[in-house]
Amino acid sequence: MRALFIVCVIDILGFGILIPLVPYMADRFGASPQLITPILGAYSLCQLVAAPFWGRLSDRFGRRPILMSSLAGACVSYAMLGFADNLWWLLASRMLAGFMAGNISAAFAYASDMSAPENRAKAMGTVGAAIGVGFMLGPAIGGLLAGENEHTANFALPAVASAALSLFAISLVYFMLPESHAKEHRTQRHEPRSSHPIQLLRERPTLRFIVSGAFLVTCSQAILESIFAIWAMNRFGFGPRTVGLVLFFLALLPVAMQGGLVRVLVPRMGEVRLAVAAVLAYVLGLLIVAYSSHLPLALAGLAFCGVGSGLFNPSASALASKQATARDRGAVMGTYQSGQSLARSLIPFASGTLYAGFGPSAPFLAGACLTLPAAWLIWNSQRAARTIAS
């Protein structure tokens, strides 16, 4: 698990470096908020299409080949983004990155392969913490490399750094990460394709509740991710460097949750109760941000969102992984990932319009309304599991 943790940190670090920069790049090319957020959503739309495909490939060929090939695709997309000189190249780079984003579902499947059911949340928390570390350090590094002035910011340097990190991660997978998916557990070409996402959701009602709840939570996360840089730039005058540093400090909370507190709380509360509490914390954070008029209060609301995200993600992914068998774990985690990708692909098309048409508070209020039913869905997943068991 240590090797997987390092690989995930390096991988997400490269991705995170570019998070605060894409909106500023699009703004430099003359895009409005209504257009900037769909560019961000194009990544997740393509990931939605590709994630189940990568999951099934990892069930058939193993986790290591999928990790390396998806990292190679990410490397190419970073190079395209760094040298983009118009919106079309920027959009193409995000779409390619989304199509090649099979590494997250493969990493979660790897962690699930290597852990017993009773330790699943801990393993998922380890991967989640690694992702959190990457998201914590990446935006800060990207902002520092680009600079504060949005008109003179250097976008090529952060992109080259991201590409170099992807190459480094590939070498780590090759030399440090043994294959976790034994050949006797792999699916074969002639086997029936019961691992299709729609089929999995139809046959496993508990998974359906979990994926639906995660979808709603990710909707609000996607609102926050897609609108934050625009909101911070217009509300407080933040440039790329400041946005990156704020994201760095806000990411400390999810990392602390996933890296330590989840291990303490899961044995006491269980994944279901912890996930429900996380949803409520996230909704509270969005409401505080929506009605905040000063930076300290807004940061407090964002902190609640960080706590909720840090507790929800490992709990929900652990619940999803428990609905899988050894032969279809990659497909199940790919299906779970596709639900999140669907949210991140749909929401950016609306968040910019909400922001421009109804004011800065509207996206956050919409996110709170969307997310609250997730608590009911996660709670009822437990009832569905009991019904199946009986």
What confidence score (pLDDT) does residue 369 get? Answer: 93
Q: How many domains does the chain have?
A: 1
CATH of the domain at 36: 1.20.1250.20
Tell me which residue range forms the domain holding 266. 2-178+195-389
Does residue 216 form part of some domain? Answer: yes
The verdict on residue 183 lying in a domain is no
- Measured distance CA(131)–CA(48) in Å, rounded: 19
Longest dimension (CA), the chain: 64
Task: Please report the pLDDT score of residue 226 as a whole number.
Answer: 80
Gap between the terminal Cα atoms of the chain: 35
pLDDT tens over the chain, length 390 residues: 677 778 777 877 777 787 778 888 888 888 877 778 778 778 777 877 777 777 778 788 888 888 888 889 889 999 998 888 888 899 899 888 888 876 677 777 777 777 777 676 677 777 777 777 777 788 788 888 888 777 778 888 988 998 898 898 888 888 888 877 766 555 655 444 445 667 777 778 888 899 899 999 988 888 887 888 888 888 877 887 888 788 777 777 777 776 667 777 878 888 889 999 999 999 999 999 988 878 888 889 988 998 888 888 888 888 888 887 767 776 787 778 777 878 877 887 788 888 888 888 899 999 999 999 999 999 988 776 666 555
Residue 318 identity (one-letter amino acid):
A
Residue 199: inside a domain: yes
Q: What is the pLDDT of residues 12-60, one digit of tens each?
A: 777 778 777 888 888 888 887 777 877 877 877 787 777 777 777 878 8
256, 260, 261, 263 alpha-carbon torsion, rounded to 10°: 150
Quick one: pLDDT at residue 190? 47
DSSP string of 195-261, one letter each residue: TSHHHHHHH-HHHHHHHHHHHHHHHHHHHHHHHHHHHHHHHH---HHHHHHHHHHHHHHHHHIIIII
Check residue 249 and give its pLDDT: 77
**What pLDDT is attached to residue 189?**
52
For residue 158, is it within any domain?
yes
CA atoms within 13 A on the CB side of 80: 17
Q: With respect to residue 188, please indicate whether it lies within any of the assigned structural domains.
A: no
Name 237's Cβ contacts closer than 8 Å, sequence gap at least 6.
none
Considering the domain boundaries, does residue 90 fall inside one?
Answer: yes
Can you say whether residue 270 is alpha, beta or left, with left for phi > 0 and alpha for psi between -120 and 50 degrees?
left
- Torsion-angle region of 131 (φ positive above 0: left; ψ -120 to 50: alpha; else: beta): alpha
Cβ–Cβ under 8 Å, residues 134 and 221 = no
At 63-114, the pLDDT tens digits run 888 888 888 988 999 999 888 888 889 989 988 888 887 667 777 777 777 7
Residue 121 is predicted with a pLDDT of: 66
Q: State the Cα–Cα distance between residues 335 and 81, nearest whole angstrom.
A: 28
